[in-house]
């Protein structure tokens, strides 16, 4: 029976590297990889060797005869994606290098997937000797894998096993609880390292720019997601869940995560690692209908096939579409698949009466209504017009309506922030760079300074996309090292750098300290039948680390 890739696919393409018959696509060297919604296995080419199963970090691969009911539709999804695929290789420079490099001292700023994949590439590259110190402002690592992935997506969090492997490699060190700009400057990092790779993500949010956006009860998704995942910055936030209807603006995967968490029976989350304060609040929630607004049409939504399927797998929640799916010509394989999943999801959940997620397309919010808190949203119906690039754009008609609700979540994208000492492109919310080399004001590379992940390319792609993004950045860094373009640190003695960190605002957590936090959270989880029980304040994390 051919193998298939299922819902939790993280696109890191470890499976591609071990496939002996090249039946998994798109490969990182094929066009479309960076924007792929998921990878798939061509059922005609698969020889059932099973080599891909153990290397998948998120247990997404199985055989079509062993797939569970929840993932059964992925037999078809793999076949449909394979049928619509025509692999086109892209030109990539050869990575074959003969010069030995090192020892290199590299600081990585940001302990999320992008930073940890970069660390892993440096520590595993043949011919390279490196010491990598991964810095993060929180006492805990893993970035959005810890603070972004929705708690009901527990298999996705298995990717942390990869990060544990990276952290146990010789030459790796964590320095957690250290904030660049507060505790150490960019110049100090460069003085003590051959290179610095910034991987600090995109922790801000895009604004809607409409009246009422900042009324109490209107929040960016960034805050709600961080809150239910126990991020210390948001642990004491409150969200008013007392009204029956919530509105989520945006049509990406974050919008669907938020809609699911708000709509589903909280008892389904009780066995996950959701933050205790969020579980308690969701248990008391009166929200019964979540309306998700897409400004463009059903065929333009940014959410991916696996996440759309996930929307129909949350128990007693009815999926509703606002209006019929009118036929449309010239749809590609993915758009056709999404229409089918939507139609099937609506049919399969009809009759689930207690809770609902309603997808409304071609609607934009004009104003968040309310005098001293959110009471509703004024919406305008849009029509689609082709932009100069041929891409469909939303154009408001005069057709306006008010929708009552008590909570508005703005899930219209994350946004990178500037960091002191680094250039910043405010229009794009990224650090200006060429393939990961940070560019100065005159457009030339800043020696020894690199970026990877969302602060390099913007908030796009799924977890594994960062593995290949980091590969590109590390390749530039190593090319510069081979070409003698890294000035090198003033001192290779780590004591000088450690003495700077000793003056940090709070105690520094190293790998052993993080292991103690991790063990304590997991032991507490084991005792209550959950993967972990999270510490949600910096003080509690530090106490568990023993610092
Ligand atoms: P996203 O995928 O970029 O989606 C943003 C959505 O907001 C789009 O539907 C966009 O519509 C809409 N939007 C933007 N400005 C708007 C406005 N002014 N009014 C109304 N709608 C507006 O961003 P995201 O959902 O934050 O996700 C970020 C990245 O994380 C994505 O790559 C996503 O796949 C990834 N992620 C993955 C998972 C997962 O794999 N499980 C989970 C969460 C996030 P237009 O298309 O019309 O611009």
Consecutive 10-residue runs of the chain (547 residues): their mean pLDDT? Answer: 92 94 93 91 93 94 93 93 83 66 94 98 95 98 97 93 96 98 96 97 96 98 98 96 98 98 97 98 98 96 95 91 83 90 94 94 98 97 93 95 98 97 96 98 96 97 95 97 90 89 96 98 96 97 98
Atom of ligand 1 nearest to the CA of 296: 47
> Which atom of ligand 1 sits closest to the CA of residue 465?
32
d(CA 226, CA 233): 8
Ligand 1 atom closest to residue 301's alpha carbon, by position in its atom list: 9
**Ligand 1 pocket, mutate which of 153, 157, 254 (most atoms under 8 A from CB):** 254
Output the pLDDT for position 94: 63
pTM for the predicted model, two decimal places: 0.94
DSSP reduced 3-state for 15: helix
Atom of ligand 1 nearest to the CA of 394: 47
Joined together, the tokens standing for residue 470 give 């980091």
Q: Terminal CA-to-CA distance of the chain, rounded, Å? A: 52
Q: What residues flank ligand 1, with Cβ below 6 Å?
A: 206, 208, 249-255, 257, 295-296, 300, 302, 304, 307, 364, 411-414, 459-462
Indicate which residue's Cα is closest to atom 42 of ligand 1: 253
Paired strand residues for 136 = 176
Residue 149 CA, closest ligand 1 atom number: 42
Q: 382-389: list long-range contacts, CB under 8 Å, 24+ apart.
A: 382/295, 382/296, 384/296, 384/297, 384/300
* Ligand 1, atom 18, residue with closest C-alpha: 208
Q: Indicate the helix (H) or strand (E) that contains 525.
A: helix 511-527
Residue 93 Cα to ligand 1 middle (Å): 31
Nearest CA to ligand 1 atom 31: 460
What per-residue confidence (pLDDT) applies to 329?
Answer: 79
**CA pair distance 370, 54, nearest whole angstrom:** 53
């Amino acid at each position: 029976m051919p193998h298939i890739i299922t819902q939790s696919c993280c696109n890191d393409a470890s499976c591609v590297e071990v496939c002996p018959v090249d039946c998994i696509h798109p490969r990182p060297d094929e066009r479309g990889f960076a924007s792929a919604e998921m990878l798939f296995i061509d059922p005609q080419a698969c020889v059932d060797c099973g080599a891909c199963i153990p290397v998948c970090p998120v247990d997404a691969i199985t055989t079509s005869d062993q797939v569970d009911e929840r993932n059964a539709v992925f037999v078809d999804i793999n076949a449909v994606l394979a049928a619509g695929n025509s692999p086109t290789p892209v030109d990539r420079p050869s990575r074959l290098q003969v010069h030995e490099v090192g020892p290199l001292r590299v600081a990585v700023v940001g302990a999320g997937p992008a930073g940890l994949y970069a660390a892993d590439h440096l520590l595993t590259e043949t011919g390279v000797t490196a010491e990598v110190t991964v810095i993060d402002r929180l006492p805990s690592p893993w970035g959005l894998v810890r603070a972004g992935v929705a708690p009901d997506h527990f298999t996705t969090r298995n990717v942390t096993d990869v990060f544990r492997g990276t952290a146990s490699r010789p030459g790796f060190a964590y320095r957690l609880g250290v904030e660049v700009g507060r505790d150490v400057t960019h110049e100090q990092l460069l003085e003590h390292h051959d290179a610095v790779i910034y991987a600090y993500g995109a922790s801000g949010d895009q604004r809607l720019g409409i009246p009422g956006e900042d009324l109490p009860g209107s929040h960016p998704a960034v805050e709600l997601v961080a809150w239910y995942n126990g991020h210390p910055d948001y642990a004491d936030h409150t969200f008013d869940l007392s009204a029956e209807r919530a509105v989520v603006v945006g049509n990406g995967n974050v919008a669907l995560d938020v809609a699911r968490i708000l709509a589903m029976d909280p008892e389904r989350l009780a066995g996950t690692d959701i933050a205790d304060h969020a579980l308690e609040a969701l248990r008391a929630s009166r929200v019964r209908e979540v309306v998700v607004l897409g400004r463009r049409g059903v065929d333009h939504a940014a959410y991916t096939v696996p996440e759309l399927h996930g929307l129909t797998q949350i128990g007693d929640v009815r999926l509703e579409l606002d209006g019929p799916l009118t036929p449309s010509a010239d749809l590609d394989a993915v758009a056709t698949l999404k229409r089918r999943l939507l139609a099937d999801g609506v049919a399969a959940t009809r009759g689930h009466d207690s809770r609902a997620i309603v997808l409304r397309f071609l609607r934009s919010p004009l104003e968040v209504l309310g005098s001293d808190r959110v009471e509703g949203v004024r919406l305008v119906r849009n029509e689609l017009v082709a932009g100069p690039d041929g891409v469909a754009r939303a154009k408001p008609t005069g057709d306006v309506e008010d929708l009552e609700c008590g909570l508005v979540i703005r899930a219209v994208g994350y946004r990178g922030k500037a960091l002191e000492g680094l250039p910043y492109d405010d229009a794009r919310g990224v650090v200006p760079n060429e393939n990961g080399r940070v560019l100065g004001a005159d457009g030339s590379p800043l020696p020894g300074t690199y970026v990877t992940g969302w602060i390099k390319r913007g908030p796009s792609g799924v977890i594994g996309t960062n593995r290949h993004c980091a590969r590109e950045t590390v390749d530039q860094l190593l090319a510069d090292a081979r070409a003698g373009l890294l000035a090198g640190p003033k001192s290779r003695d780590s004591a000088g750098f450690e003495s700077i960190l000793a003056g940090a605002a709070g105690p520094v957590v190293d790998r052993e300290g993080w292991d103690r936090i991790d063990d304590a959270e997991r032991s507490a989880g084991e005792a209550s039948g959950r993967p972990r029980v999270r510490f949600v304040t910096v003080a509690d994390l530090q106490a568990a680390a023993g610092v």
